[in-house]
Each structure stands twice: as structure tokens, then as C-alpha cells.
Amino acid sequence: MKFGIQVNEGPYQHQAADSAYNFAKAAIDAGHEIFRIFFYHDGVNNGTRLTTPPQDDRNIVKRWSELAADHNVDLVICVAAAQRRGICDADESKRNGKDADNLAEGFRISGLGQLIEAGIESDRLLVFGD
């Protein structure tokens, strides 16, 4: 089965990011495909490379980056939600006159069309978080 996943909550204020990651990992391990994971609303905070959790805590951003690298999972951050929350890649930073970028490895920024495509191309689109 091919899954699309939407994550609407940030990495440390809600369990949605952990649940989405655990589902994606379990689905891949069971032989299913993850078409795309789309981060929306506060979920875009899963994609900032500046997150630095304590050493004895889970590093959710790093786990997402590793999932993308190990299994070729498309991690997409909503551009509008990212801009509202100060998350940008090098291109968005330059375009908006910012002096830095903070998008984590394995993530990319795009629009809601990527979420729509995930819903069309996947057998199921699962939403984690409000």
C-alpha cells in the first residue's frame, strides 16, 4: 500500500510527530511505500535544523532526516506555514532578504499542491495532529 502522511503538530509539543514517524517507519519495515510526508501548520517545526534536544531525549528532526536519507522519503514543508514560523531554505532566505536559512537535511519547501498530489497518488492519506 502507498501512504501519504500529513503532520500538523510540532516535534515536542504534541505526540503527533512521534506517531507519524513511528507509523512511517513501521509501514516501510512492513514493505509499504511512503509517497510523501507533508508538514503543515506547526508541523513545519519538524524541519528546522536548529532544534537541539538534550542528549538523553529523542531527536525528532534527525529521525526525519535519517528516514528521508535511508528510504528516499519525500519530506515537504508547507511554504506559507514555514514563512510564518521563520523556517526557510537558502532560496527562500535569499528571496526574502534574510541572512540565514534553517531547513534540516532531507526536507524541502513547497506549496499545498504537494499535499493534494499526495492525496491523489496515495492509497491512503493519514493526518497526524489537529
DSSP secondary structure string for all residues of 62-125: HHHHHHHHHH---EEEEHHHHHHTT---HHHHHHTT-S---BPTTEEEE-THHHHHHHHHSSEE
Q: pLDDT (tens digit, 9 = 90+) per residue, 14-68?
A: 999 999 999 999 999 999 999 999 999 999 999 999 999 999 999 999 999 999 9
Comparing C-alpha atoms, which of 114, 113, 93, 111 is closest to residue 102? 93
88 is catalytic: no
Kindly list the structural domains of the chain, giving each domain's residue range(s) and its CATH number in brackets, ordered by start: 2-128 (3.40.1260.10)
Q: How far is CA 105 from the centre of its chain?
A: 11
Q: Which of 34, 78, 82, 87 is catalytic?
A: 78
Q: Tell me, what's the pLDDT at 58?
A: 94
Q: pLDDT (tens digit, 9 = 90+) per residue, 60-112?
A: 999 999 999 999 999 999 999 999 999 999 999 999 999 999 999 999 999 99
This prediction has a pTM of: 0.96
**Strand, helix or coil for residue 37:** strand
Please state, in angstroms and rounded to a whole number, the distance separating the CA atoms of residues 70 and 9. 23
